[in-house]
Amino acid sequence: MIRKKFIAANLKMHFDVAEASTYLHNLSKTLTSHREIEVVIAPSLVAIQPLSREIDVRKIKLAAQNAYFEDEGAYTGEVSFSMLKGIASYVIIGHSERRIYFHEENDVIAKKVKAALRNRMSPILCVGENITERRDGHAKRVINDQITSALSHLTEEEMHNIVIAYEPVWAISTFGNEQAMPDDVEKMINEIRKQITYLYGEKVAESVRVIYGGSVKADNVASYLAIPGCDGALVGGASLNYLEFNKIVQSCFNVMQS
């Protein structure tokens, strides 16, 4: 099964509406579309709705960075997946910043995955071990727990809409800033597919896209994309510069041609 490459910009809590709009405008002008690559940007929640009116989704798709799992109700300050329906194609769920700073546990993440699918958005499920878990040799167990708790209650049909981002916490530029070695990333990507195979069988595991995130830049993305089974990248800091992000997409195309 051919898995389309997936390159996403997680803009985190950067850019107000005007800045996000300028970013989208500049990126759209610079970017050459490739049929084999899906390009996604995740702006802040306040910018996502205005951007949805400006964006050409054939070229760039929108992802939300978060949402709440109930569709409506007395949840002051929250925005539901149902409110984002038709606005965002994807939604980032379980990012380590949400797990660490906002204490999101696996049970909440599982509910968010369900809510996203119920509202026709594809989850980008982030999984990854922290430095202590890695040093203690628990990385695989942590990943498997995160995957099982978030995804084991889905149908096979729903699984086809899942993208899994392996983001080791220690390799995210704002946490550890250590560079993950492609060999290490390959082992963990294989482990992720093994766990999906265990839960849903090989056919589903082969259909799910698994991408890498953690200090990805234009000058190192090729080494990750060359990993067999790595279907793309989730880019934080380096995506804030549209020229750099464009280079990352271009590099993905070059790897596919080689």
Active-site choice (95, 97, 104, 133)? 95
Structure tokens given for 109: 């993440």
Whether 95 is catalytic = yes
234 binds ligand 13P (CB under 6 A): yes
199 vs 230, which CB is nearer to ligand 13P? Answer: 230
The distance of closest approach from Cβ of residue 74 to ligand 13P in the complex, given in angstroms and rounded to an integer, is: 31
Which residues are paired to 234 by β-bridges? 8, 213
67 binds ligand 13P (CB under 6 A): no
Cα dihedral across residues 100, 61, 146, 76: positive or negative: positive
CA–CA distance from 145 to each of 31, 40, 65, 97 (Å)? 38, 27, 22, 18
236 binds ligand 13P (CB under 6 A): yes
What is the contact mask toward ligand 13P in residues 3 to 22, using x (rule: CB under 6 A)?
Answer: -------x------------
Stretch that binds ligand 13P, among 51-59, 78-86, 102-110, 228-236 (CB under 6 A): 228-236
Residues 75 and 229: their CA atoms lie apart, in Å, by 40
213 binds ligand 13P (CB under 6 A): yes
With contact defined as beta carbons under 8 Å apart, do 164 and 146 qualify?
Answer: no
The distance of closest approach from Cβ of residue 10 to ligand 13P in the complex, given in angstroms and rounded to an integer, is: 4
Specify burial of residue 241 (Cβ count, 10 A radius: 0-12, 13-18, 19+). middle
Which residues are paired to 62 by β-bridges? 41
What is the contact mask toward ligand 13P in residues 172 to 211, using x (rule: CB under 6 A)?
Answer: xxx-------------------------------------
Which one of 104, 129, 133, 167 is in contact with ligand 13P (CB under 6 A)? 167
Residues 229 and 209: their CA atoms lie apart, in Å, by 8
215 binds ligand 13P (CB under 6 A): yes
Residues 73 and 239: their CA atoms lie apart, in Å, by 35
165 vs 204, which CB is nearer to ligand 13P? Answer: 165
Structure tokens given for 13: 């809590």
216 binds ligand 13P (CB under 6 A): yes
With contact defined as beta carbons under 8 Å apart, do 98 and 66 qualify?
Answer: yes
Q: What is the contact surface with ligand 13P in residues (CB under 6 A)?
A: 10, 95, 167, 172-174, 213-216, 234-238
* Active site amino acids: 95, 167
